[in-house]
Amino acid sequence: MGKQERPAPGQHAGADRLPSAEDPARQDDSCHDEVFERISQVVLAVASQLSVRDVLQMIVRSARSLADAEYAALGVPDERGSFAEFVVDGISARQQAEIGPLPRQHGMLAVILQEGKPLRFDDIRTDPRFWGWPAAHPELTDVLGVPILEGSRVIGFIFAACKHTPGGFTERDERMLSLFAAHAAIALTNARLFERARELSVLEERARLARDLHDAVSQKLFSVRAKARAAAMLVPRDPARAVAEIDSVAALAGEAHAELRAVIDGLAPPDLAASGLAGSIRGYAVLAGRTYGKAVRVEAGELPDLDGQRETVLYRVAQEAISNALRHSGSKDVRVRLTARQRAVVLEIADHGTGFDPGGAHGGVGLSSMRERAASVGGTLMIRSSPGEPTTIRLSVPVQHR
């Protein structure tokens, strides 16, 4: 018989344990391993540079898995009675589309937001405050909801619904969901601070740009205009001097052009300038893969020099396609390939997942923004996918000839 561990004083036992198979000790170990792993993934995600949405998604997925629930969701209300973020796990994208638009802050969601403390329902439908749900919404019975708090202010909630193990949600589930709610609060606060810092740096950047443009270009253009006028007046009287003036107009215009070019080149995202395109994509792939516990392999060959705009487009499309493959495809691994062709740089993101209908897919803004970005540099975006088939996204960006 396996070794039976006694709970330490103060440690919860009984209902806190998952049902044991033949070997309870081993079962406990692997259960603890999963708890540590999930929590560590969430902590890493919170500390990473992933989008807040990816982090919240990770939190909801971990909460659902550890609470052994059929569904989980996380909502962050906005000021207009709806939700700034509403991420769910346990429901397919298609089901979500059928359910319809985001919920409003009413019914039981409002109750969880107003109470500001954990709530447990054996059957949420029997609560007098229950309003019902849209036709395609799954039937929820037992529900555990906890607030996400920033100080004493409720900034959102997490709930888990329909526990697989009989007996409903436990004290331990509540503590765990509260732990994830604390992580979500950090992620949301970080995101807000980050956004504020970004706004400030955008303002600083604008001021710097205005200064650079003034120093480099505006003053030169002023001289160009003065010299051009002088040349025009000299033409009838002193054509030789007029020609000299026109030559110096051309030289000044050339300088202004070169300096403008330098200002424009300085506008490339700093990340790309520092680590290069392949390095930046690799960096994102590692972080995002770790968050979802999946492998993202990046292969990159020698690339020609690309301007800032093309690099940005390639980077953003890679980011969105990797994120989509990790979030939606269910594939265990994702492959990214960046190759140089004769007149183009080609980016491919492939997964072995569930696939989807690119013509009918509606979800977020990801697919359409990838198309727009591709078009903005004269590139082509191809989405090869259909339900049940693996997905490949292929972006080809023509290489400019300077």
Ligand X SMILES: Nc1ncnc2c1ncn2[C@@H]1O[C@H](COP(=O)(O)OP(=O)(O)OP(=O)(O)O)[C@@H](O)[C@H]1O
366 binds ligand X (CB under 6 A): yes
Which position among 121, 180, 284, 356 is part of the footprint of ligand X (CB under 6 A)? 356
Least CB distance to ligand X at residue 218 (A)? 40
280 binds ligand X (CB under 6 A): no
366 binds Mg ion (CB under 5 A): yes
Q: In what order do the strands lie in the sheet with 143-150?
A: 83-89, 69-77, 153-163, 143-150, 119-121
Residue (114 or 369) nearer to ligand X, CB: 369
Task: Find the DSSP H helices in 67-170.
Answer: 93-99, 107-115
Residue (53 or 120) nearer to Mg ion, CB: 53
Q: Which does 93 bind (CB under 5 to 8 A by kind): ligand X, Mg ion, none?
A: ligand X
Which position among 74, 329, 345, 397 is part of the footprint of ligand X (CB under 6 A)? 329
- CA separation, residue 165 to residues 63, 67, 68, 126, 250 (Å): 15, 9, 7, 21, 80
Residue (70 or 320) nearer to Mg ion, CB: 320
Backbone angles phi, psi at 276, to 5 degrees: 80, 165
55 binds ligand X (CB under 6 A): no
Least CB distance to Mg ion at residue 364 (A)? 5
Report d(CA 282, CA 238) in Å as an integer. 63
Which position among 200, 364, 376, 386 is part of the footprint of ligand X (CB under 6 A)? 364
The first and second tokens of residue 71, run together, are: 């569904």
Report d(CA 284, CA 315) in Å as an integer. 9
Alpha-carbon dihedral of residues 250, 251, 253, 256, nearest 10 degrees? Answer: 170
CA 127-82-92 angle, to 5 degrees, is 75
Judged by CB under 6 A, the stretch of 20-28, 79-87, 338-346, 349-357 that binds ligand X is 349-357
48 binds ligand X (CB under 6 A): no
- Parallel/antiparallel/unpaired status of strands 143-150 and 344-351: unpaired
Q: Which does 135 bind (CB under 5 to 8 A by kind): ligand X, Mg ion, none?
A: none
Residue (301 or 364) nearer to ligand X, CB: 364
Residues in the chain: 402
Q: Which does 41 bind (CB under 5 to 8 A by kind): ligand X, Mg ion, none?
A: none
Q: Which does 325 bind (CB under 5 to 8 A by kind): ligand X, Mg ion, none?
A: ligand X
Report d(CA 182, CA 187) in Å as an integer. 9
363 binds ligand X (CB under 6 A): yes
Backbone angles phi, psi at 210, to 5 degrees: -60, -40
Start-to-end Cα distance in the chain = 75
Q: Which does 240 bind (CB under 5 to 8 A by kind): Mg ion, ligand X, none?
A: none
Least CB distance to ligand X at residue 385 (A)? 6
Report d(CA 353, CA 389) in Å as an integer. 7
Residue 117: strand, helix, or coil: coil
Nearest residue by C-beta to Mg ion?
366
Report d(CA 213, CA 153) in Å as an integer. 45
Number of residues that bind Mg ion (CB under 5 A): 3
Residue (219 or 369) nearer to ligand X, CB: 369
Residue (366 or 398) nearer to Mg ion, CB: 366
Q: Which does 361 bind (CB under 5 to 8 A by kind): ligand X, Mg ion, none?
A: ligand X
Which position among 365, 388, 401, 402 is part of the footprint of ligand X (CB under 6 A)? 365
Judged by CB under 6 A, the stretch of 116-124, 271-279, 304-312, 325-333 that binds ligand X is 325-333
324 binds Mg ion (CB under 5 A): yes
Element at 395 (helix H, strand E): strand 391-398
Alpha carbons within 13 angstroms on the beta-carbon side of residue 188 total: 26
Q: Which does 162 bind (CB under 5 to 8 A by kind): ligand X, Mg ion, none?
A: none
Report d(CA 382, CA 7) in Å as an integer. 57
CB 340 within 8 A of CB 303: yes
Name the CA radius of gyration of the chain, rounded. 28
Report d(CA 381, CA 370) in Å as an integer. 8
Residues 72-101 that bind ligand X (CB under 6 A): 93
Least CB distance to ligand X at residue 101 (A)? 14
Residues that bind ligand X (CB under 6 A): 53, 93, 324-325, 328-329, 351, 353-356, 361, 363-367, 391
Residues that bind Mg ion (CB under 5 A): 324, 364, 366
